Amino acid sequence: MLKIVEKTKLWFAISLFIIVIGMGTMAVKGLNLGIDFKGGTALTIGMNQKFDKSDVDKIVDKYAKGEYLSKTVDNGKDIEIIVKSDALSADEIATMVQEIKTQFKSSDLVSQDTTGASVGNELKSKAIVALIFATICMLVYIGIRFEFKFGIAAIIALLHDVLITLGVYAVFRIPVNAPFIAAILTIIGYSINDTIVIFDRIRENQRIMRKSSIEEIANTSITQTLARSINTVLTVLISIIAVYALVPSIRELSEPLIIGIAVGCYSSIFIASPVWVVLKKRKKRVTA
């Protein structure tokens, strides 16, 4: 039997250290919000030839110097240019694209998406509401199916997953766009499922191991479900990593999923159950 609960302070310290770094970075620099939230225009230009990114940047600098980001995508075959909101008018963007097409004869405009700043603000507020609503529903469900302390422990673990994922994005300045919200909701759903498996085993063992301590019950339950949790997560991660590597167009979705699902597995084992034990022991001390 693994001694997970006995090292609760260690698990909490590791998580707290990572969260503090991430939240500190977010407080100082903020998240690197993409055009879905800040507004702007995203252009994808198929180059269809060998090209130097700096040559394209020189053209864009004429129109929106310091107001854009550019990167090569699709293994260097295309270039994606993201111009900040209100930096260029529609006519100026069309002129800029035409100049790129003139210099690079075989290039063509693959896609052009414009998002207003007001739309981005509305998306942010709706995303926050969706996260709060999902969290409340999960708390109610777990509280009814198990007990309220299980619900509190599960929500703390979910908050842990979200904060660490946000922290990683803040530290590494990864752009945050609409697919990130879908990924966070998916991470929450996956993590809660993994946590419930352990909680269900704890509930069963409470009936079987009546003379055992809370720590023994939690450790036994975690040990019994550990192989299942790790194998499931590895299977999912292998699939998502394959998608990330082979399907560049949906990396904005697969990238946070890789981070969040790995963190969710950790929190289900090392955070959720130890938190439940802490809450249980605290109640015993209060009623003693």
Q: Could you list the pLDDT tens digit for every one of the 288 residues in the chain?
A: 889 999 999 999 999 999 999 999 999 999 988 888 888 899 999 999 999 999 999 999 999 998 888 989 888 899 999 998 778 888 999 999 999 999 999 999 999 988 776 666 777 788 788 888 888 888 888 888 888 889 999 999 999 999 999 999 999 999 888 899 889 989 988 889 889 999 999 999 999 998 899 999 999 999 999 999 999 999 999 999 999 988 877 888 999 999 999 999 999 999 999 999 999 888 666 555
Task: For CA atoms 38, 29, 266, 207, give the dihedral sign.
Answer: negative
CA distance 166 to 107: 36
The full set of domains in the chain, from first to last, is 5-34+119-287 (1.20.1640.10), 40-115 (3.30.70.100)
Threshold 0.85, pTM exceeds: no
